Chain A
Amino acid sequence: MKIHVNDVPLDVAPGTSVIDAVFAAGYDVPYFCSQEYMSPIGACRMCLARVGAPRKDRATGEWILDEATGDAKIFWFPNPMATCTTQVMEGMVVDTLSKEVKRAQNGMVEFTLVNHPLDCPTCDKGGACELQDRAYEYGTGESRFVFDKRHQEKHHALSEAITLDRERCIHCKRCVRYFEEVPGDEVLDFIERGGHTYIGTLEDGLPSPFSGNITDICPVGALLDSTSRFRGRNWEYHHTDTTSLDDPSGAALRIDARTGRIERIKAGLNDEVNKTWIDDGTRFGHEYADHADRITLPMVRKDGRLEPVAWSEAMRVVRDKLGGVDGTKVGVAIRADATLEEGVAAQALAAHLGTGRLDHAPRPAASVLPGGAPATLRDVATSDGLLVLGDPTHEAAIVDLRIKDALKGVPPADLLPHGVPIADLRLTERMPRKTEILTVVAPYRTDLMKHAGRTVTPPAGGEGALLRALLALAHARTEAQGASDPGKAADAALAGWDDAVGMSAADAAALLDALAAAEAPVLIWGGFVSADPDADAAARALATAVGAKTLILGPMANAAGLERIGVLPSHERYAYDPASSEVRAWILGDLDPAQDPTVAKRFADLDALIVHAAFENATTALADVVLPAVTGYEKEGSTLNAEGRLLPVRAAPVEAGAATDFTGVVKAYGEAAGERLEGRSVRSARRVLKKRLDVDLAELPDDGRLLPPAPAAARGARALPARRAATGSALVVPSLVRIEHLDRNPTLLREHGGPTLRMHPSDAHAHGLTRGEVVTVPVGGIPRRLVVAPDDGVPEGTWLVPTLPDQPVGLHPLDLDALRRERGETAEVA
């Protein structure tokens, strides 16, 4: 459509909002209530402009012409229009510069400021405040208001992590809309009316795993992140745009640091991945990085005690210790959220030592690389048939939000010259959701089930049986189509169905029908399926049978990347097993296997135990040499997210002494051993990766680049013989909050409560356990300190425990007889 914005002629797509047309033309209008990725509602009235359009004569169907000029006559709307809720029309003329518009804007700024306090000097939004900026650009610069302003609560803790200042709220409704439109958790609303309106919740806190995003979108300092309350002014922060290493979704982050500390984390913009949203575990879970007990110097055990030493000395000790061990008996393992560059470093180290015992952990029994047709997050958001096996909210939180995008049925908007549309008119408040396209399968009630048209609860560890049954049914139904009497053959196919897999025959048939009818079906699975190679094989076969693309959610941020570049044992026999008696020396990156007392006992008679860690733990307590590690916020490198997108990881300036990433370990080791190992620096690792992946990682754009799937031949060579699925009555479940850091994340701990042991209320009753009680119970050998939380969403006989890097998702033995009550200790349960 051809329109004019001031003096700029423009051709825009029908359906575009006028505000986007104005920005596309390079002009500016102030606005408060519109927000990228959310519905425009015209609440703030700040985006006013004069708008006019030509008209057609009803009788002739011809444009009415201006007699003086002979051009189409422009009929101006009688009042200034809110540009965010106005659609462009053919021939439209927009004026944002005239005196009349300026007057309207002045008036709106003044009106917005009438009840706004003069808090700027103490307000954490100051310097990055939309109201401050707009008042400066579009206000009159003086106040005519001499009366007492509205007084409301100044520091209301909306939740443990979010502070609300009710006087500063300008009622733009972004936060209220956000909860309904994005995560679909309606927990906030306006209360009262007129000048007395304030936002509030009837809930206890903000029970949504995505609540923190409202602190980013609030245009003023009404909603603020409590972790950074009064920590610094916006112009004092050092901003680092990076990628989250918290989970495999690969969300863009902006880390704000000051004086060597991380003060807050905000969401970054990556239109293909997280849009502008991140989960609360990622946002509020950074305090641990600045904790006082960080390991900042290498330490070497002398006379039984760890003594701080220089890197060079620590590495001489490492070299001498490893010199005495048969190279093939050394194990090297790094955590699955290490960067690709660290992976290369670990490979170089293992090659140098001559060991095939190289691995990343946690690594599920089955591969996390999708074969066949991998689904991107855009595919998820545009799918019309989704089968989800697992708990994506906790495995890769952004996937949860992209699934909810698909339910709206509005495909991602095309980018405009100024980026994401400010007011996408296809989005509305309280849109109907196509819940029928979503099927969620999990052995307990998950958050995403609230949004699913169909939910299936197989017994814990029963995904394999369910998938095999579905696969058999799919095959039988295909065959039945060719039979002489298709209807009868289809019934026959259903006859053998066993409801014990978790769903009825009719449901299964309906599910397969839905997937078959879908134009772009996507199958998503996570740790529960990957823990069982049979389930994994069935899932892949089912995806092929129904023609679905696949998205696999790995256990940690870069599990797919490390598998892809082959940070793997040379033989499955050599897979990471800290309890193995064959290994005489371990080099461990960020892992803490000695939490398990049997492993600790093994470790006591190792020839060498070298641990690269950021905090002291059960394993560093046994180590011969401890090397200081950086956290995921301080790394330079790259990661591969679940959809196969290479994303840049950048280092925030955090004071961490002599800590390095794993490439630093390999560099120092090489220096001690007199060799220049590959992967001795991020740059050298990138040279190696450039050859292998044909991508220059130093040149990665901020929003990353999709890596084409590995050629089938290469995958075959790397394919690992499947390991066995575990058994037990504890189901270790994914957790959006990183439990291993929770003790050092005070805000998140208050917000989330301690790690929970969830069970059916009848099980709790049978074992005399009460809600909030703190217990210690061995799960898969590791004594876990947990808060009892009976939950009727958990099937009887199953006990849910949140995962640790050293305790991967899946079934583990649970020793209820050894359960110990921490007497007198109780905790809040969310």
Chain B
Amino acid sequence: MSVLGIAKGMGVTLSHLFKKPVTVQYPEEKVDVQARFRGRHHLLRHPDTGLEKCIGCSLCAAACPAYAIYVEAAENDPDDPTSAGERYASIYEINMLRCIFCGFCEEACPTGAIVLGHEFELADFRYENFVYGKDDMLVGVKGSKWQRREAERAGRDVELGLAPSHRPELEGVDY
């Protein structure tokens, strides 16, 4: 091994000493999220009418390779509809422990109702707290179940540890 070789290697090390570090001081610092990052799902609404986009078709559940999604549908009350059309999801659940965040559900959805967002802080203590229902995923709900519990306990707003980027599919989602 020549001296030159060692010098070359040390040179690489040395050059990195002066670069900006990649490490983020999470949670003090927010994490940058790429536009196409796949985190916790959001159930979207039509921005103009406020009606849910999900029609309870269960295609996401059929596409899910991890069997993480359970959907039960019901008929809309024509006078007070939940979604556009005849049918809506009366139960919509994703088991976040089973989910492998592959995004197949999003691809399968004919209405663009389910979109994988940027939230990733899903840790929790009990199994049942990983089953997310409509109330946990409808657009407007911010944070994981644990984050929302903590925020409520402390009497403050949910604070996410991420710096989102723009993704047009996440219509109406505001981090």
B86, A233: Cβ atoms under 8 Å? no
Which residues of chain A have C-beta atoms less than 8 A from B56's C-beta?
122, 230
Q: A229-B75, A230-B74, A233-B57 are in contact. Are A122 and B87 (CB under 8 A)?
A: yes
CA distance A624 to B61 in the complex (A): 47
- The one of B61, B72, B86 in contact with A122, judged by C-beta atoms closer than 8 angstroms, is B86
Which residues of chain B have C-beta atoms less than 8 A from A121's C-beta?
55, 57, 59, 110-111
A236 within 8 A of B: yes
Q: Report A189 CB to chain B, min CB distance, Å.
A: 26
Interface of A is mostly: loop
B73 within 8 A of A: yes
* Residue from B58, B85, B110 with most neighbouring chain A CB atoms (10 Å): B58
B55, A233: Cβ atoms under 8 Å? no
Which residues of chain B have C-beta atoms less than 8 A from A231's C-beta?
72-73
CA distance A235 to B87 in the complex (A): 18
- The one of A155, A229, A233 in contact with B58, judged by C-beta atoms closer than 8 angstroms, is A233
Interface residues on A, range: 10 to 19
CB 8 Å contact bits of B62-79 with A (1 = contact, 0 = none): 100000000011110000
Which residues of B59-115 have CB atoms within 8 Å of chain A's CB atoms? 59, 61-62, 72-75, 85-87, 110-111
CA distance A155 to B72 in the complex (A): 20
Q: Report A117 CB to chain B, min CB distance, Å.
A: 11
Q: Which residue on A lies nearest to B58, using beta carbons?
A: A233
CA distance A229 to B56 in the complex (A): 12
B86, A154: Cβ atoms under 8 Å? yes
Q: Report B153 CB to chain A, min CB distance, Å.
A: 34
Cβ-Cβ contact count across A and B, 8 Å cutoff: 34
Q: Which residue on B lies nearest to A121, using beta carbons?
A: B57
Interface residues on B, range: 10 to 19
Q: Report B62 CB to chain A, min CB distance, Å.
A: 6
CA distance A236 to B91 in the complex (A): 15
Which residues of chain B have C-beta atoms less than 8 A from A122's C-beta?
55-57, 85-87
CA distance A154 to B111 in the complex (A): 20
Which residues of chain B have C-beta atoms less than 8 A from A230's C-beta?
56, 73-75, 86-87
Q: Report A553 CB to chain B, min CB distance, Å.
A: 39
Which residues of chain B have C-beta atoms less than 8 A from A155's C-beta?
86
CA distance A343 to B87 in the complex (A): 46
Which residues of chain A have C-beta atoms less than 8 A from B58's C-beta?
232-233, 236
CB 8 Å contact bits of A200-244 with B (1 = contact, 0 = none): 000000000000000000000000000001111101100000000
Q: Which residue on A lies nearest to B62, using beta carbons?
A: A235
CA distance A233 to B87 in the complex (A): 12
CA distance A259 to B93 in the complex (A): 14
CB 8 Å contact bits of B43-62 with A (1 = contact, 0 = none): 00000000000011111011
Q: Which residue on A lies nearest to B88, using beta carbons?
A: A230
Q: Report A618 CB to chain B, min CB distance, Å.
A: 35
CA distance A122 to B109 in the complex (A): 12
Which residues of chain A have C-beta atoms less than 8 A from B59's C-beta?
121
Q: Which residue on A lies nearest to B59, using beta carbons?
A: A121
CA distance A229 to B87 in the complex (A): 10
CA distance A91 to B142 in the complex (A): 74
Q: Which residue on B lies nearest to A230, using beta carbons?
A: B73
CA distance A312 to B5 in the complex (A): 81
CA distance A155 to B58 in the complex (A): 21
Q: A122-B85, A122-B87 are in contact. Are A233 and B62 (CB under 8 A)?
A: yes
Which residues of chain B have C-beta atoms less than 8 A from A236's C-beta?
58, 61-62
Which residues of A234-292 have CB atoms within 8 Å of chain B's CB atoms? 235-236, 259
Q: Report B65 CB to chain A, min CB distance, Å.
A: 15
Which residues of chain A have C-beta atoms less than 8 A from B61's C-beta?
236
CA distance A229 to B88 in the complex (A): 12
Which residues of chain A have C-beta atoms less than 8 A from B111's C-beta?
121
Which residues of chain B have C-beta atoms less than 8 A from A259's C-beta?
72
Q: Report A258 CB to chain B, min CB distance, Å.
A: 9
Which residues of chain A have C-beta atoms less than 8 A from B62's C-beta?
233, 235-236
CA distance A154 to B75 in the complex (A): 13
Which residues of B1-49 have CB atoms within 8 Å of chain A's CB atoms? none
* Residue from A230, A231, A233, A235 with most neighbouring chain B CB atoms (10 Å): A230
Q: Which residue on A lies nearest to B74, using beta carbons?
A: A230
Q: Report B145 CB to chain A, min CB distance, Å.
A: 23
Q: Report B73 CB to chain A, min CB distance, Å.
A: 4
Which residues of chain A have C-beta atoms less than 8 A from B74's C-beta?
230
Which residues of chain A have C-beta atoms less than 8 A from B57's C-beta?
121-122, 126, 233
* Residue from A122, A126, A154, A235 with most neighbouring chain B CB atoms (10 Å): A122
CA distance A231 to B110 in the complex (A): 19
CA distance A196 to B34 in the complex (A): 52
Which residues of B107-152 have CB atoms within 8 Å of chain A's CB atoms? 110-111
Which residues of chain A have C-beta atoms less than 8 A from B73's C-beta?
230-232
Which residues of chain B have C-beta atoms less than 8 A from A235's C-beta?
62
Which residues of chain B have C-beta atoms less than 8 A from A126's C-beta?
57
Which residues of chain A have C-beta atoms less than 8 A from B87's C-beta?
122, 230
Q: Which residue on B lies nearest to A122, using beta carbons?
A: B87
CA distance A230 to B71 in the complex (A): 11
Which residues of chain B have C-beta atoms less than 8 A from A233's C-beta?
57-58, 62
Which residues of chain A have C-beta atoms less than 8 A from B55's C-beta?
121-122
Q: Report A161 CB to chain B, min CB distance, Å.
A: 15
CA distance A105 to B80 in the complex (A): 43
CA distance A74 to B58 in the complex (A): 52
Q: Report B146 CB to chain A, min CB distance, Å.
A: 28
Q: Which residue on B lies nearest to A155, using beta carbons?
A: B86
CA distance A597 to B84 in the complex (A): 54
Which residues of chain A have C-beta atoms less than 8 A from B75's C-beta?
229-230
CB 8 Å contact bits of A421-465 with B (1 = contact, 0 = none): 000000000000000000000000000000000000000000000
Q: Which residue on B lies nearest to A235, using beta carbons?
A: B62
CA distance A233 to B85 in the complex (A): 17
CA distance A677 to B55 in the complex (A): 53
Q: Which residue on A lies nearest to B111, using beta carbons?
A: A121
Q: Report A384 CB to chain B, min CB distance, Å.
A: 50
Q: Which residue on B lies nearest to A126, using beta carbons?
A: B57
CA distance A121 to B63 in the complex (A): 13
Q: Report A433 CB to chain B, min CB distance, Å.
A: 41
CA distance A649 to B139 in the complex (A): 48
Which residues of chain A have C-beta atoms less than 8 A from B110's C-beta?
121
Q: Which residue on B lies nearest to A154, using beta carbons?
A: B86
CA distance A229 to B57 in the complex (A): 12
Q: Report A224 CB to chain B, min CB distance, Å.
A: 11
Which residues of chain A have C-beta atoms less than 8 A from B85's C-beta?
122
Q: Report B53 CB to chain A, min CB distance, Å.
A: 12
CB 8 Å contact bits of A114-150 with B (1 = contact, 0 = none): 0000000110001000000000000000000000000
Q: Which residue on A lies nearest to B78, using beta carbons?
A: A155
CA distance A121 to B72 in the complex (A): 13
Closest 8 CB pairs of A and B: A121-B57, A230-B73, A122-B87, A233-B58, A121-B110, A230-B87, A122-B55, A230-B75
Chain A residues close to B by CB (< 8 Å) = 121-122, 126, 154-155, 229-233, 235-236, 259
Q: Apart from A122-B85, A231-B72, what are 16 other A-B pairs with CB-CB below 8 Å?
A: A121-B110, A121-B111, A122-B56, A122-B86, A126-B57, A229-B75, A230-B56, A230-B74, A231-B73, A232-B72, A232-B73, A233-B57, A233-B58, A235-B62, A236-B61, A259-B72
27 CB < 8 A contacts A-B: A121-B55, A121-B57, A121-B59, A121-B110, A121-B111, A122-B56, A122-B57, A122-B85, A122-B86, A122-B87, A126-B57, A154-B86, A155-B86, A229-B75, A230-B56, A230-B74, A230-B75, A230-B87, A231-B72, A232-B58, A232-B73, A233-B58, A235-B62, A236-B58, A236-B61, A236-B62, A259-B72
